[in-house]
Amino acid sequence: MDTPLNIEGAVCPVPLTHNEQIVMGHGSGGKMSHDLIRKTFLAAFDNSILRTGDDAAPIAVNGTRLAISTDSHVVTPLFFPGGDIGKLAVCGTVNDVAMLGARPLYLTAGFILEEGLPIETLQRVVESMSAAAKEAGIQIVAGDTKVVEKGKVDGLYINTTGIGEILPNVNIGGAQAKPGDVVILSGSIGDHGIAVLGARGELGFTSAIQSDVAPLNHLIEAMLEADKNIHVLRDPTRGGLATTINEIAAQSKVAIHLNEQSIPVKPAVNAACEMLGFDPLYVANEGKLIAIVPPESADKILTAMRSTKYGEDAVVIGEVKEDVRGRVLMKTAIGTTRVVDMLAGEMLPRIC
Amino acid sequence: MKYLTEYRDAKLVRGVVDKIARIATRPWTIMEICGGQTHSIVRYGLDQILPPSIELVHGPGCPVCVTPLELIDKALAIAARPDVIFCSYGDMLRVPGSGRDLFSVKASGGQVRVVYSPLDAVEIAKQNPDKQVVFFAIGFETTAPANVMSVIAARSLGLKNYSVLVSHVRVPPAMHAILGSPSNRVQGFLLAGHVCAVMGYHEYPSLAEKYRVPMSVTGFEPLDLAQGILYTVRMLEQGRVAVENAYARTVTFDGNVPAQNAIHEVFEDCDRTWRGIGTIPMSGWRLRPEFAAFDAEKRFDVGDIQTKESPLCIAGQILIGMKKPHDCAAFGNECTPEHPLGATMVSSEGACAAYYKYKK
């Protein structure tokens, strides 16, 4: 019992890089996803548009500026409080297109269906897509259907691609944040991720939390109508607010300072996170956006946001500075400052 | 949130920290035992507002970090079997064995499931009678009651397809080892509140007395931690050796006796290797012989496994408070949470991961 420890000889595990095969962490939206994109996809497809690294790609056709984006949806379960895979598939792509300050116009939808899927389930999903498209004011104009053997997919997967017209005099992108800018968040974080976990029965208790999945294009139109001077728009989906803010800080080469106390988290989401050991900053959202705007435009934009359905709880959560470029710092509840990093790999079960 | 935000109140925390600053006349080195406390300290930046004379060093209380490599390799071997559903607490999936982790096993077709409670693993065993269901029963005294309850439940259900791979560790023998080390510099301890919620704190006065080191039972919120530090510094300044309870809303002297009885019904003391530290005598728990039927090591032939560790990482010294993450050349360079060299970087409770995340 009294043998002294040999502390000088202490050693530790060998590294694991997961360079050989895909693991779940590659789909987390965090650092592993970024590394995969950089080393594999960007290396193969490299071009100046892809390199912008935003939610949608800005392209120009005969002088018309367009935004185009694609997203695949593989959520389990297919139906969850507040939404379903169909609504998610429409809103996800509508939002990605809208984040460039574009008016989304058309979507395509590709379905991969599992043998044995009840037609009634598919019917419910497409009705939900139709309702979401109607709310967003877009049309689904092309599609594709594939059926695979039972067990090859989990019910159904949907890929959507969207296109929209970038509004005149708008120049929005992840690299546009400038020191002095104000960081606005459109509402509470973590609702979608916790709602999906709850629907999977993984919380171990019932919760009334609804996913926030929603089309945000009308909110963005209202913001741009109030003031076109918006630098960055982005929706913090997989990887959560922390990961998205880190992406912006890196793209714009600025420091972003957040104030923990001002970031809205619903009590039920907070309670679920506390119990499971999650940090709401890393939990997925599907109906929230971050706007980075010059200080002189902040009040006008905030007022416009608060007059809309999906922006009524909009708040200022931080500011852009130049002290530690590429980093995100946060003032904690007790008034100290800490680093907020990106999600590393898989922290939560896959959510969308 | 009720009874949570109160313990994160900046004004209250500052008030306690001011008291610490008023009474601290000398430098003191205090170890928080538990990785959850390390995480909380750096997450809230509590170390930034403490007087500079108070140094917090991080203890070995991260169950993921200290689970021996050999056990991880056994887990990987069992999880890779086609007849097995391997259930684990989520954090263990990223801990590297000698070359692979549970994520890799899963990606290669192994059935690896994350559960929040070992009783979920028992449920999986019930629903999959044609599969062997194995739960990776790791942790300190905190997870022991739930882990033993799964064995008790499996026995009463008559389940023949449930077993546990046990690597349990206990706090007091580790403190013994740290305090008995010739290079020890820890002068006071923050005891792990949740370990004490189960075990009480009657095991500690003799330890405090033997090594003349005061201790405070301490919780996990910023105010709890500040309170624990205040109690410890006060005893140090007064030259007093005792075990005080700064987490009385959760912890009693005797602890949770039914939970302790369940633990002792299923587990017995044993020597245990701590990853990065070495073997600490009688520092672990294993299944009693009468529960051998539930022992995954006996059920599956997992044999002798060669283990090799990276020479870069100083996790061992960090785990016993000799060094801090910043002292390691690999920290933040070769070693990051997505490519961990050491277990302390893997778990969210690990000291290196906490440093990387909050104060890189």
Which tens digits make up the pLDDT trace of B60-86?
Answer: 877 877 888 889 999 999 999 999 999
Pull the structure tokens for residue A204.
Answer: 């171990």
* Window from A115-129, A219-233, B96-110 with minimum mean pLDDT: B96-110
Rounded mean pLDDT of chain A?
Answer: 90
**A222 and A300 part of one domain:** yes
Residues A85 and A196 in one domain: no
In a domain, B306, yes or no: no
**Mean pLDDT computed over B18-40:** 93
Residue B175, phi then psi, degrees to nearest 5: -65, -40
Q: What is the mean pLDDT of residues B171-182?
A: 91
CB within 8 Å: A339 and B309: no
Tell whether B309 is covered by a domain: no
Report the alpha-carbon distance of residue A306 to residue A313 in Å, rounded. 6
How many whole angstroms separate alpha carbon B204 and alpha carbon A26? Answer: 45
Structural domain includes residue A140: yes
Distance between CA atoms of residues B135 and B120, nearest Å: 10
Residue A345 lies in a domain: no
Give the distance, in angstroms, between the CA of residue A239 and the centroid of all CA atoms in the same chain: 7
Given a contact cutoff of 8 angstroms between Cβ atoms, the answer to whether B267 and B150 are in contact is no
- Which CATH number belongs to the domain containing residue B148 in this structure? 3.40.50.11740
CATH assignment of the domain containing A248: 3.90.650.10
Same domain as A189, residue A153 = no
Chain B interface includes A337 (CB < 8 A): yes
Residue A28 lies in a domain: no
Residue A296 scores a pLDDT above 80: yes
State the pLDDT at residue B359.
62
Name every residue whose Cβ is closer than 8 Å to that of residue B82 and which is 6 or more positions away in sequence. B109
pLDDT at A251: 96
**Residue A74: left if φ>0, alpha if ψ -120 to 50, beta else—which one?**
alpha
CA-to-CA dists, residue A235 to A102, A239, B182, angstroms: 14, 11, 54
The identity of residue B171, as a single letter, is: V
When CB atoms are compared, the residue of A9, A12, A204 closest to B313 is A12
pLDDT at A17 over 70: no
What gap in Å lies between CA B116 and CA A314, rounded to an integer?
A: 34
Average pLDDT over residues A221-241: 97
pLDDT at A5: 45
Structural domain that includes position B337: 315-359
- B338-350 per-position pLDDT tens digit: 666 666 676 555 6
Last residue of a domain, one of A166, A196, A211: A166
Please tell me the predicted confidence (pLDDT) of residue A1. 36
Closest chain A CA to residue B89: A276
Is residue B207 domain-shared with residue B277, that is, in the same domain? no
A243 burial type by CB count under 10 A (0-12 exposed, 13-18 middle, 19+ buried): buried
C-alpha–C-alpha distance, residues B350 and B91, integer Å: 10
**Helix (H), strand (E) at residue B179:** helix B171-180
What's the number of domains chain B is made of? 3
Task: Give me the residues of A, 96-115, that contact B with CB < 8 A.
Answer: none
Contacts of B290 (CB under 8 A, 6+ apart): none
Average pLDDT score over residue span B297-307: 78
Task: Supply B327's token pair.
Answer: 């002292």
Q: Do B132 and B50 share a structural domain? A: no
For position B94, what pLDDT does the model report? Answer: 78
At residue B320, the pLDDT reads 62
Structure tokens at A40: 């594999």
Distance from the A290 Cα atom to the nearest Cα atom in chain B, whole angstroms: 22
CA-to-CA distance for A7 and A269, rounded, in angstroms? 43
Based on the structure, what is the number of domains in chain A? Answer: 2
Q: How far is A248 from chain B (nearest CA, A)?
A: 18
A333–B177 CB contact, under 8 Å = no
Q: Which domain holds residue A327?
A: 182-339
pTM for the model stands at: 0.87
User: What interface predicted TM-score (ipTM) does this complex get?
Assistant: 0.82
Length, in residues, of chain B: 360
B206/A82 Cα distance (integer angstroms): 56
Q: What is the mean pLDDT of residues A63-82?
A: 95
Judgement on whether residues A98 and A238 belong to the same structural domain of the protein: no
What is residue A66's three-state secondary structure?
Answer: strand
Q: What is the mean pLDDT of residues A276-287?
A: 92
Tokens describing residue B268: 């017995």
Instruction: Write out the two tokens for B168.
Output: 């349990």
Tell me, yes or no, whether A224 lies in a domain.
yes
DSSP E strands in chain B: the ranges are 28-34, 54-61, 84-88, 111-114, 132-139, 162-169, 188-192, 215-218, 243-245, 267-274, 278-287, 309-310
Residues A155 and A277 occupy one common structural domain: no
**Which residues does residue B109 pair with via DSSP β-bridges, in sequence order?**
none
Quick one: angle between helices A119-136 and A85-98, nearest 10? 30
Residues B165 and B265 in one domain: yes
Q: Does residue B330 sit within a domain?
A: yes
Q: What percent of chain A has pLDDT over 90?
A: 78
Q: Are residues A104 and A219 in the same domain?
A: no
Polymer length of chain A: 352
Domain assignment present for A33:
no
Q: What is the token pair recorded at A210?
A: 């609804």
Nearest CA in chain A to B339: A17
Does A207 have pLDDT greater than 80?
no
Q: What is the pLDDT of residue B326?
A: 74
- Contacting A residues, span 256-275, partner chain B, CB-CB under 8 Å: 267, 270-271, 274
The chain A residue lying nearest B178, using CA atoms, is A5
In a shared domain, residues B293 and B198: no
Interchain contact, A11 vs B309, CB within 8 Å = yes
Q: Could you report how far apart the first and last alpha carbons of chain B are, in Å?
A: 29
In a domain? residue A349 = no
φ, ψ at B199 (rounded to 5°): -95, -10
Of B117, B176, B341, the CB nearest to A15: B341
Residue A265 pLDDT > 90: yes
Give the CATH number of the domain where residue A129 resides: 3.30.1330.10
Same domain? For A328 and A263 the reply is: yes
Tell me what the pLDDT averaged over chain B comes to. Answer: 89
A135 and A213 both lie in a single domain = no
A165 contacts A133 by C-beta, under 8 angstroms:
no
CB nearest to A12's CB, from B99, B342, B358:
B342
Sorting pLDDT into bands at 50, 70 and 90, what band is A348?
very low
